[in-house]
Structure 1
Amino acid sequence: MDLDLYEILPWIAALAFVAIGLMHASDRPPMRGSWLAPSALAALLFGWSAFTIAREGFAVWAEHTRNAWGNQIWFDLLLAAGLALALLFPRARAVGMHPARWLLFVGLSGSIGLFAMLARCLFLEERRRVAAP
């Protein structure tokens, strides 16, 4: 059984999802530098998106309007991003971020913007903790 890259990468992403979930399931505060992981994920996803656009063209909307599965994936992505933003916005406001700007960025870039927003929020929270007496 020969698996190609497009069959392997979804499994790697699923394992990463489980690993990240387990790492953050505890009640302990974020470790110093915790903003680096979402920064790296944003960069990796941006790179993969750039590769995909260069190879396949910008067919995002066509993929989401092709059939019922495309619609379902679009609905799922929007609802998951909306939920993530609803949970992240109070923390973002608390460290001086402007949620409306981030809503636009996430709306245009999806998870890339969401990971970047989380990284920025974690960075500002860490800076605030370090600066506190």
Structure 2
Amino acid sequence: MPETLTPFLALALGGLVFGVAAILAIALRPGMPGNALLAGALSAGFAAFTAVTIASEGVIPVILNHTTNLWGVQVWWDLLFSLSVAFFFVLPRARARRG
């Protein structure tokens, strides 16, 4: 563990705390409907953070980060599988509501 709390470590730990809190909130409230406003706000916050990151560091570090070693590829695959699982659960519900 690093001796000092860097801004990057603080951001990573903050994301972990909020991620665990979200998972617990969902798991401990089975049957409760989702909150579209909260989901939209979280998505907007994530998009804003992504935009700031791309504006300050560019896109090339993303490619380098995910192709430099096995951990980078593992994280890339985690992202792809997470997106696939999300679409697996969301798309049938969205299609059913549409018509």
TM over 0.5: yes
Hey, what's the Cα distance between the residues in 1 that align with 2:63 and 2:88? 24
Give percent identity, aligned residues only.
Answer: 36
Q: Is 1:86 paired with 2:88? A: yes
Alpha-carbon RMSD across the aligned residues, in angstroms, is 1.7
Unpaired segments of 5 or more residues in structure 1?
A: 98-133
Matches within 5 A, 1:3-42: 3-25=5-27, 26-30=29-33, 34-42=35-43
Give the match for residue 58 of structure 1: 59
Hey, what's the Cα distance between the residues in 1 that align with 2:74 and 2:30? 33
Deviation at 1:81, TM superposition (A): 0.9
Hey, what's the Cα distance between the residues in 2 that align with 1:27 and 1:62? 40
Consecutive aligned runs of 4 or more in structure 1 exceeding 4 Å deviation: none
Deviation at 1:50, TM superposition (A): 1.0
Give TM-score, length-normalised by structure 2: 0.85
Deviation at 1:64, TM superposition (A): 1.1
| Cα shift readout 1:4-36 (whole Å, capped 9, x = no counterpart) | 2101111111111111111111223216xx111
Query: What is the number of equivalent residue pairs in this alignment?
Result: 95
Q: Which has the higher contact order (CA 8 A, sep 6+)?
A: 1
Unpaired segments of 5 or more residues in structure 2?
A: none
Matched position secondary structure for 2:98: coil
Give the match for residue 116 of structure 1: none
Hey, what's the Cα distance between the residues in 2 that align with 1:96 and 1:65? 39
